[in-house]
Amino acid sequence: MKILSVNTGLPKTVDWEGKKVRSSIFKTRADGPQKVTFLKVGDDTQCELKFHGGRDKAIYSFDNHYYKEWKRNLDFKDWRYGIFGENLTTQGLADDVVRIGNLYRAGTVSFRAIQPRIPCFKLNLPFGRKDILGKFYQSGCYGTYYRVEEEGVLQAGDDIELPEESPYEITIADFAATYACRGENQELLKKILDLPVFPDDIRKNYEKFLL
């Protein structure tokens, strides 16, 4: 497992469908060592803290494997790491192998997998297309939000270690699929809600699927 790129960005206002939209989804590669705190990577700054950022969303990763799939299926010329808004573009951290609660380490930073990323329409902005959000959900590949457990420094090229594997077998893919199918698998839904690291800010979104 490895970090292929570290990506950060500042809030930016753009025109979208006749309106001014402010977003921090526009990320560019940040070269060299980047300081990671409990709330962010490098100079990355979120502009809507009600929905983004915070302890349980300090780092967002998206795996290079998904880039390969997108490139095969989407005619788009400006492919670059960070275009999905991720802080870390990774190799080997696909949704179906990342367990909720896994503790990873890269450089001197320790970070724990907490939840999948559930994006809004702003995912369309870097692509300049209205159909990206729908395609993203159809792909079933969401990427992972992490809580920083130990602040430090990391950079592109760092290996990612797994010093502590979660005792829970529920993966990011399971977590995301349960949301997408509105809790069709009630047994899995209940296991997810029982996770000690389940984020409080989205608990009600899952509890509404209980029968």
* pLDDT for residue 52: 66
Nearest Cα neighbor of 64 from 91, 93, 104 is 91
pLDDT confidence of residue 105: 98
Mean of all residue pLDDT scores within the chain: 94
Residue 193 carries which side chain, given as an amino acid letter?
L
**Does residue 211 form part of some domain?**
no
Tell me what pLDDT residue 157 has. Answer: 98
The Cα–Cα gap between 174 and 183 comes to 11
Question: What are the tens digits of pLDDT across the range 143-161?
Answer: 999 999 999 999 999 999 9
**Per-residue pLDDT band at 46 (split at 50, 70, 90):** confident
CATH code for the domain of 152 = 2.40.33.20
173 in a domain, yes or no? yes
Whether the predicted pLDDT of 192 surpasses 70: yes
pTM for this one? 0.94
Question: Which residue in 163, 137, 133 sits closest to 149, CA to CA?
Answer: 163
- Count H helices, E strands: the chain? 5, 12
Query: Does pLDDT of 200 surpass 90?
Result: no
Indicate whether 210 belongs to any domain.
no
Please state, in angstroms and rounded to a whole number, the distance separating the CA atoms of residues 187 and 191: 6
In whole angstroms, give the CA distance from residue 24 to residue 38: 18
Domain count, the chain: 1
Residue 48 lies in a domain: yes
Tokens 């300081």 belong to which residue? 35
Confidence of residue 185 (pLDDT cuts 50, 70, 90): very high
Which one-letter amino acid corresponds to residue 94?
A
Confidence of residue 184 (pLDDT cuts 50, 70, 90): very high
Q: Which tens digits make up the pLDDT trace of 51-104?
A: 667 899 999 999 999 999 999 999 999 999 999 999 999 999 999 999 999 999
Q: How far apart (Å, rounded) are the C-alpha atoms in residues 8 and 43?
A: 6
35 lies in some domain: yes
Q: Which domain holds residue 126?
A: 2-205
What mean pLDDT is predicted for residues 201-205? 88
In a domain, 117, yes or no: yes
Tokens representing 71 are: 């490139």
Alpha-carbon distance of 180 to 51, in angstroms, equals 18
Written as six digits, the tokens of 163 are 């010093």
In a 3-state reduction of DSSP, which class is residue 100?
A: coil
51 falls within a domain: yes
Q: What is the share, in percent, of the chain residues with pLDDT greater than 90?
A: 87
Length of the chain: 211
User: 81 with 28: CB under 8 angstroms?
Assistant: no
Q: Is residue 178 part of a domain?
A: yes
Percent of the chain exceeding pLDDT 70 equals 98
